[in-house]
Amino acid sequence: MPPDPARRVGSAATHPRPTKAELAAAADRTIPDVLAPGLAVLFVGINPGLWSAATGWHFARPGNRFWPALHGGGFTPRQLHPSEQGELPALGLGITNMAARASARADELSTEELLDGATILTDTVARYRPRWVAVVGVTAYRIGFQRPKATFGPQPESLAGARLWVLPNPSGLNAHFTPVTLGLAFAELRGATGLPDRRPT
């Protein structure tokens, strides 16, 4: 008999949901980056949500579409659970955030936090030297890097020697993009990086 997929390590069924009290207590926490030198792509979220701060996993809230889009774009051979984020560096991928402080909503961040975050991100990129930096959220990119007319896709400027790309925000609150169109946006980035499509054929 094949193993029960719901019991696979990393599946949602093996991880209890944070309680309301745990989520409330997670405000203003920070979580570790997923980093290694010389990554192909460093994905940059806006800031951790409360669910991520409570669990320690990036893009952890159910309904966030980062992990499905990452797989739909061909970056991973299967859809990873947020708890499996440690597998990303072996695939040449990493995750950090524009702002480190966790909040219930990204719009709770101040302009100053995003400006400071852009400076810290620049230093991180200079230290770890990823080939591409993909900011997941155009509004945060426009504010943090003072590029008010920036659009999705490749950016004309570089960041500490890395190529820059702006992706849509995968939050479930972003109704402008569907899971399919998010996957296509991620696939466009993957094609530009030259990474192979890791989905099974």
3-state DSSP call for residue 180? helix
- Whether the predicted pLDDT of 81 surpasses 60: yes
Is residue 2 very low, low, confident or very high in pLDDT (cuts 50, 70, 90)? very low
pLDDT bin (cut points 50, 70, 90) of residue 17 is: confident
97 or 3, higher pLDDT: 97
Q: What average pLDDT score do residues 50-70 get? A: 94
Residue 14 predicted with pLDDT over 70: no
Task: Give me the DSSP letters along 70-122.
Answer: HHHTTSSSSPPPGGGGGGTGGGTEEEEES--S--SSGGGS-HHHHHHHHHHHH
Convert the pLDDT of each residue in 86-137 to its tens digit: 999 999 999 999 999 999 888 889 999 999 999 999 999 999 999 999 999 9
Which of helix, strand or coil describes residue 199? coil
Q: What is the mean pLDDT of residues 146-170?
A: 96
Which band of pLDDT confidence, cut at 50, 70 and 90, is reported for residue 19? confident
Distance CA 145, CA 22 (A): 33
User: Which of 1-10, 71-80, 164-173 is modeled with the greatest confidence?
Assistant: 71-80
pTM of the model: 0.91
Percentage of residues in the chain having pLDDT higher than 70: 91
Q: In degrees rounded to 5, what are phi and psi of residue 177?
A: -125, 135
> H-type helices in the chain, by residue range?
20-25, 50-55, 66-72, 111-128, 138-144, 179-193
Q: Tokens 């991100």 — which residue?
A: 121
